[in-house]
């Protein structure tokens, strides 16, 4: 049996640098700020709530960039993860420093070992250089080919 997980994340650029959160320490790949959404919550509203909690700043979703669909083992379970990635802007940018655990990465040079999911490193450099003009995109990663017929790849929506 495969369980479903729905989350929302921010592609947030500060001074041209991508903000990543390192939940498991400095050696782990960073993740875009975000988390699971609550039942009955819209994706942009959930993202605003999550970013306020994680960054201590008000942010808003500007544009849907990616839907990342992953089929993967997690622990002893099998997960179908749907994650929505929005380009976001800080509303109250007062120059306050980012909280501990946040790092800045040049989006033009992000590597698979720096970001989770690694598939983002395949699209972020070119998309950021193009100001995310060609979006949204569907990014599919299937690590459970025996459970799902999904074909890994990048697709325009």
Tell me: the pLDDT tens digits for 52-80? 999 988 999 999 999 999 999 998 899 99
β-strand 31-32 against 77-90: which pairing, if any?
unpaired
Tell me: the pLDDT tens digits for 107-155? 999 999 999 999 999 999 999 999 999 999 999 999 999 989 999 999 9
Instruction: From residue 54, give the alpha-carbon distance in Å to each of 2, 46, 102.
Output: 29, 12, 9
Cα gap 103→19, rounded to integer Å: 6
CATH superfamily entry for domain 2-156? Nucleoside Triphosphate Pyrophosphohydrolase (3.90.79.10)
Number of Cβ within 10 Å of residue 46's Cβ equals: 21
Measured in degrees and rounded to the nearest 5, phi and psi for residue 15 equal 50, 40
Tell me: the pLDDT tens digits for 146-156? 989 999 999 99
Q: Residue 26: pLDDT above 70? A: no
Task: Give residue 100's pLDDT.
Answer: 86
Cα gap 116→105, rounded to integer Å: 13
User: Can you give the residue ranges of every domain in the chain?
Assistant: 2-156
Q: Residue 47: pLDDT above 90? A: yes
């Amino acid at each position: 049996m495969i369980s479903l997980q729905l989350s929302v994340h921010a592609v947030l650029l500060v001074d041209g640098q991508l903000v990543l959160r390192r939940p498991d320490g400095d050696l782990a790949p960073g993740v875009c700020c975000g988390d699971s959404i609550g039942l009955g919550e819209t994706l942009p509203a959930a993202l605003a709530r999550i970013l306020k909690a994680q960054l201590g700043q008000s942010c808003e979703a500007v544009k849907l960039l990616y839907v990342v669909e992953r089929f993967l083992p997690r622990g002893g379970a099998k997960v179908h993860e749907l994650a929505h990635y929005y380009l976001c802007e800080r509303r109250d940018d007062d120059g306050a420093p980012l909280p501990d655990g946040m790092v800045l990465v040049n989006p033009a040079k992000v590597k698979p070992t720096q970001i989770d999911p690694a598939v983002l490193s395949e699209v972020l450099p070119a998309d950021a250089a193009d100001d995310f003009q060609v979006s949204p995109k569907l990014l599919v990663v299937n690590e459970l080919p025996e459970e799902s017929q999904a074909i890994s790849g990048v697709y325009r929506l």
